[in-house]
Amino acid sequence: MDVFSDVIATMRVGRAKFTRSRRSGAWGSRFGPYPGAGFHIVLRGSCWLLPADDSARLLTSGDVVFLPHGTMHGMSDSADRAAADLPLDVQPGQVGDLPGDMTDELTHDDTLLLCGAYRLDRGRAHPFLHALPDIVHLPARPGHHPALRTAVDLLATELTDPRRGADATLPALLDLLLVYLLRAWMDEESARRPSTGWLAALTDPAVAAALNHLHRDPARPWTVQDLSNEVGMSRTAFAKRFTSFVGQPPMAYLTWWRLSTAARILSAGDSPLATVAQQVGYTSEFAFSNAFKRTFGVAPGRFRREHRAAGAHSAGAR
């Protein structure tokens, strides 16, 4: 996979949870904080987003809001309210995968919302996630981010007129929504701040190429000299540039990526620890286990058992 695909794969766990709700009259709800990444889509009407420590933002039909850190916030028909004073809404992670029926005819004053959350494993979330602001607001402007707009329109259609196959289409559309809204944010931020942080790392030819090499072949015994040769830079200049954009030296990032990849392998399969170690570039199971425990706080075998138990509990709850 490319680096951006890996970013999404490391930050998302399981299926997104969501609810559709119709609001009318005077209303307000408080959301979060929660361990996932929240989102809201105004499918119809308008309302106000009430950040905990910022000014209210007007949301209109088609607007998308993403809260990557699960920050506490409110949604209301009025800007003159404090998020902390609103009643707590049902946490998106505690509701079913599909919305309930809404068969009553909508009125002119109704606001129709899609609210939910992506489950995240913050213990191994990609550093890109930390570069995101508390609130990503993507207004529905004609001609801007057509792929995101298409995903929102398809979601609205599926929710307004549910048909056969909704169990398959809705989770897939929510996965697409996450990809498209992150792309849209990157496009807008790149125009405002083109030369800083992870935005620059993913677009800079040398650093992006090096990241792709590490992601595609983490088991290779990379050195800084190897990477600098691959991208056509001197060792010193490359190391400085990589560290400036990514926030850590190349070998430190490689270690993090190897162990994050190992965590995904352990969560999903039954491969022996020695095999997992070899897959991510460790020559011995002992060295791999020590490095894994330093990063995740538990030995890889225990990590796998705990994730299996958590997955079984989640499936039973559903």
Residue 307 neighbours by CB under 8 Å, 6+ apart: 266, 267
**Residue 52 to residue 58: CA distance in whole angstroms:** 15
Residues 131 and 49 in one domain: yes
Q: What's the CA gap between 225 and 236, in Å, rounded?
A: 9
In order of 147, 152, 177, 184, 221, the CA distances from 144 in angstroms are 9, 13, 15, 9, 43
> Into how many domains does the chain fold?
2
Burial label for 65, CB within 10 Å (0-12, 13-18, 19+), is: buried
| Whether residue 78 is found in the same domain as residue 179 | yes
pTM for the model: 0.80
| Single residue among 127, 160, 192 that ends a domain in this structure | 192
Give the whole-number percent of the chain exceeding pLDDT 90. Answer: 48
Last residue of a domain, which of 149, 171, 192? Answer: 192
Residue 278 above 80 pLDDT? yes
Q: Summarize pLDDT for 167-219 with one digit per residue, the tens.
A: 888 888 988 898 999 989 888 887 776 666 788 888 899 999 999 999 999 99
- Quick: pLDDT tens for 116-128: 888 877 666 788 8
- Give the structural domain span for 87: 3-192
How does pLDDT run across 29-78, given as a tens digit for each residue?
A: 999 888 888 999 998 899 999 999 889 999 999 999 999 999 999 999 99
Instruction: Identify the pLDDT of residue 195.
Output: 64
Give 69's DSSP letter.
T
The answer to whether residues 139 and 63 touch, using CB atoms and an 8 Å cutoff, is: yes
Inside any domain, residue 70: yes
pLDDT at 97: 38
Specify whether 220 is located in the same domain as 107. no
| Residues 31 and 137 sit within 8 Å (Cβ to Cβ) | no
The mean pLDDT of 231-259, rounded to a whole number, is: 95
Please give the pLDDT value at position 101: 41
Q: Are residues 105 and 149 in the same domain?
A: yes
Residue type, 317: A
- Assigned domain for 199 exists: no
Looking at residue 4, what is its pLDDT? 81
What's the whole-number mean pLDDT along residues 138-150? 89
Pair (178, 153) in one structural domain: yes
| Final residue before a domain boundary, out of 192, 213, 238 | 192
With a cut of 90, say whether residue 132 has pLDDT above it.
no
45 found inside a domain: yes
Same-domain check for residues 141 and 210 = no
Alpha carbon of residue 121 to chain centroid: 10
Q: What is the spatial distance between Cα 309 and Cα 305, in angstroms, rounded to a whole number?
A: 6
Q: Are residues 72 and 186 in the same domain?
A: yes
CATH number at residue 246: 1.10.10.60
Same domain assignment for residues 27 and 149: yes
